[in-house]
Structures are given as C-alpha cells and as structure tokens.
Structure 1
Amino acid sequence: MAQTSIESEVARFNEGFEAQIGPDLAGTFAQEQADLRSVGTPSGVVRAGDALPDAALLTARGDAVRLSTVLGGGPAVLVFYRGAWCPYCNITLRTYQRELLPPLAGQGVALVAVSPQHPERSGATAEGAELGFDVLSDPSNTLAGALGIVTEPSTEARRAHTQLGFEVSDSNADGTAAIPFPTVLVVDAGGTVRFVDVQTDYTRRTEVTAILAAVAHL
C-alpha cells in the first residue's frame, strides 16, 4: 500500500477545520503559523552529534521511568508532540503507527512519543489512536527544555483555544502552556543524536520517508 504523506492529510483536515471554525479563528491560527515560520528555529536547539540527555518521564499509567530505561541501549526515534488536543499531532501519530512503526520494529529501532501532558492524557492518546509504541509524559518539559525545543502558543491563539472550549494549561502536567516544537530525533545505540527535525510551524511534520532515510544511516 502506498504511503500517505502527513502533508496531504493535514491539507485535507484544514479544509474542513477552517470551514468549521470560521474565518476569524482560522485567520488567528494562520497568523500564528506565519509568525512561527518567520522567527524560525531558535538558537540552542539540539543538533546532530549531541548526546541525548537522560530524563525522568512518566508512563501512561503515571509510573516514573528513565528515558534511558525505555530505550534500553538501542537505537530509537523520539517524537515530541504538543498533546492530544492538537489535531496535527494526532494525524502524525496515527501515520507513524501505520507506516513508521512496522519498518522500525523490523530493524529493532524503538519508537517513543513524548509530550508534556498529564499521563492519563497520554494514555488517552495511545488508546484513541491504537498506538503500539510508548507514549510518555515529560512533566514541566524537562527533557524538551534540555533539547531547546520548548515554546508556547501565542496569546491570540490561546484566546482562540478558549473560544473552541479548551485550554492548553489544563492538559499539561505542570499547569503551564509550555509545549515542545514538533520534533523528531533519531538516536543511535550509543545515545548520540544522528538526525534532528524541528518544525516550528506545528502544521508541518516530519514525513515517514525522511525518518526512515535517517535510520538507514545509523
């Protein structure tokens, strides 16, 4: 079966979403995305060749676990996403489940998703999308902060979120609105980051083909 690009799925979603929320809210989000693209990737983000920092995370059951324990000394793909409230994250995680997980599993490469949301929300994410890989919580964005990929929605976007009936800080384990830029890391068995893709515009995500190409070079 041919792969479906995340970009094409996002385009289809946006058509219906923008019609549903109306031009004012759609314009708010479009402006936020344009501003994010304009600013670009911040300085200090993780780079290929850096050592992956260890961190204390939480499983979907709320159990404490070290990232190093989850990875078990093997190669891995780490996916940082904003939360279950983000439709672009859900599109991405479902695509990775369907098209990325099988080839990674065949090569002995772990797939792990990380967000700052409450563990129970991580569990809901995994259950709702029927994910077959670890979905972990990074309270207070400790790991994301060490990687230099923390941001938060604009004030205008948060007002738009409120009009749509949710608040990012309610989803996060630390009660703040801090979230990671959507980011994919490919890490080798020695714990060295070999591939980094940070998407400042949250509607854009790392395609499966790019990740598999990076894994092929491990």
Structure 2
Amino acid sequence: MPLQDRLDAFKADFEGGKLAYKPGPDVLDVIHRSTAELIATGQALNAKKAGDKAPEFTLKDADSHGVSSAELLAKGPLVVSFYRGAWCPYCNLELQALQMAWPQIEARGARLVAISPQTASNSRKSQREHHLTFPILSDEKSRIAAAFGLRFSLPDYLVELYKGFKNDLPTVNDDPAWVLPMPARYVIGTDGIIAYAEVNPDYTQRPDPAELLPVLDKLRAASVA
C-alpha cells in the first residue's frame, strides 16, 4: 500500500474516533488550525529546494557516533528525511516505508539517513520498534533543520494541547524551545546539490519513497555518462 494511503487511513481512524484516544471537536480544531496557519506562513516555499546547495552536517546517530554528510556523499548520493519524532505516528509510518524502500535505495548506490530533534535514546526507540537498519540522527536544537529552512516554533495554543497529551517536547528533544521541523525529504547529489526536495507543512502528507528511485537512477546515469 502506498505511504499516503496508509497515512490517510490512520488520519481517518484518528479523526473518526476509532483509536484508543478519541479526540473531540475542540482538539481537532486546534490541530487543523495549527496546520493551516503554518501553511499560510509560506515557510515551506522558502525552504531548501532542488538546485540549492545542501547544508553540510555532522550529527550523532542512535549510538552517539558522528555521521558526516560529506563522508556519506563521498560514497554516493544521499537521501535525507526530516521527521518530527518517535511520538508522531505519521512519522513512524514514514520510517517504516523508508525501511521497505531502503534495499532499492542502497542498490542504486545511495545512502539514507533520517533526522529528528529527538535525543539519541528516542532515536534508539525508533530503530528498535520499527526494525530500522539505516541511521537515525539527532539534530540538537534543530540546527540543521533550521539550515534547511524547516524549523518552526509551535504556537502557544498547540503547546498547551501537546502538554495535555503528555507530549513533553522539551524533554524528548532536550531543548527548552517548543520547535519542530516540517517533514521533508531530500536527495542530495555527490556534488552537494539538492536533486529532489519535498517539504510539506501538513505533517499528514508525505511523498512515497518510490518517488526517490527515478531521481537516484538519473543521478547514477549521469555519474557514468
């Protein structure tokens, strides 16, 4: 099943009160309002896009080992997925889809990393629960997300809702600021130039990993031309 179909099915179950937690109209109004307001800012339009130089980074993986984008790009193209954290069910569905696509990505000579603001212990939770075999990197204070133009501050009314959910982002991310990245997917060529970019301020909308494969095929063909 395509990733978006799985996301849509989860959203329908959540908003339809079919899950263990049944949100009331007031909760759904807050969620929809925050998404609409983030879209209205136009921030996604100003994030890094295809043709831009990708910011370099060195981040720690779930075992606190440094992972360098420059070192990965020396071996081939790099797929980078920014996600909100292990607490986000939409992100978890995306990670599962990326894991399923990982053999096809690797077969095309590319590397894959996922980046979130959460601490290493929460990254280990993501890897363990979803059987991930690609690196999960911790973006301290969301600095790399900011360099890509993805970091945003949660409005006060959404912070209060998250607190009611016991979703303590300052603890999860070891950062007193209530900030998150907009979900985003990038393919970076070995020259450091972004070949593919998908940024969506609506976190319930994610591109299918299959979209990456033609981009990687094109990069591989160009490298041997």
TM-score (norm 1): 0.90
Give the root-mean-square deviation of aligned CA atoms: 1.7
8 Å CA contact 2:44, 2:200 repeated in 1: no
Aligned match of 1:124: 125
Moved more, 17-26 or 104-113: 17-26
Aligned match of 1:88: 90
Q: Please give the secondary structure, in 1, of the residue aligned with 2:191.
A: coil
Structure 1 position 63, deviation (Å)? 2.8
Provide, for residues 127-184 of structure 1, a one-character-per-residue CA deviation record: whole Å limited to 9, x for no partner.
Answer: 1111111111111122111111111332222211111121222211333222111011
Aligned match of 2:57: 55
Aligned match of 1:39: 41
Q: 1:64 to 1:103 in 2, by over 3 A?
A: closer
Q: Please give the secondary structure, in 2, of the residue aligned with 1:148.
A: coil
- In structure 1, distance between residues paired with 2:218 and 2:32: 36
Structure 1 position 120, deviation (Å)? 0.9
- In structure 2, distance between residues paired with 1:119 and 1:70: 20
Give the aligned residue type for 2:176: G
8 Å CA contact 1:118, 1:137 repeated in 2: yes
Q: 1:199 to 1:153 in 2, by over 3 A?
A: same
- In structure 2, distance between residues paired with 1:217 and 1:152: 36
Pair 1:5-2:2 in alignment: yes
- In structure 2, distance between residues paired with 1:31 and 1:140: 25
Q: How many residues align?
A: 214
Aligned match of 2:155: 154
Give the aligned residue type for 1:49: G
Q: 1:131 to 1:75 in 2, by over 3 A?
A: same
- In structure 2, distance between residues paired with 1:210 and 1:103: 12
8 Å CA contact 2:151, 2:181 repeated in 1: yes
Which of 80, 95, 99 is residue 78 of structure 1 equivalent to? 80
Q: Please give the secondary structure, in 2, of the residue aligned with 1:9.
A: helix
Q: Which runs of 5+ in 2 are unaligned?
A: 220-225
Aligned match of 1:14: 11
Q: 1:175 to 1:118 in 2, by over 3 A?
A: farther
Structure 1 position 190, deviation (Å)? 2.0
Q: Please give the secondary structure, in 1, of the residue aligned with 2:166.
A: coil
Give the aligned residue type for 1:47: K
Aligned match of 1:202: 203
Structure 1 position 199, deviation (Å)? 0.7
